[in-house]
Homo-oligomer: A and B are copies of this chain.
């Protein structure tokens, strides 16, 4: 099988903080350092979403990236861009707003919509800064 992996990059700018409500303020500041700033801070997040499949003979596409971009705009950019990850996003409520948790929850948001159009989500890369990023390939 000639499996090709195609990737679409999208971006969103969001505020967040790292804070565990079961902990004292002191412990939060000790563990999360400046990421626990009570008044939030933020990032230009960059997400790369990879689809796995064989190119269709009539289009040469594994997946039409215009369709993938539309799914990502609806399920990732619209709910996260210019938002507060801790306060404004229903599916992040009560969860740690770390890159690791965010990438898993984004996977959960886009897996079905991508499957519904007949495609297979392979992996996600999520950049928080130019120095820190995460990859996720679903449950192993």
Which residues of A are at the interface with B, using a C-beta cutoff of 8 A?
A: 1-11, 13-16, 18, 20, 22-23, 31-35, 37, 39-44, 50, 55, 58-62, 64-66, 81-84, 87-88, 95-101, 103-104, 129-137, 139-140
Tally of this chain's copies: 6
Residues of B within 8 A of A129 (CB): 11, 13, 44
Of B6, B43, B104, B130, the contact of A99 (CB 8 Å cutoff): B6
Residues of B within 8 A of A82 (CB): 34-35, 37, 41
In Å, the complex CA distance between A69 and B2 comes to: 25
In Å, the complex CA distance between A11 and B9 comes to: 15
In Å, the complex CA distance between A18 and B42 comes to: 14
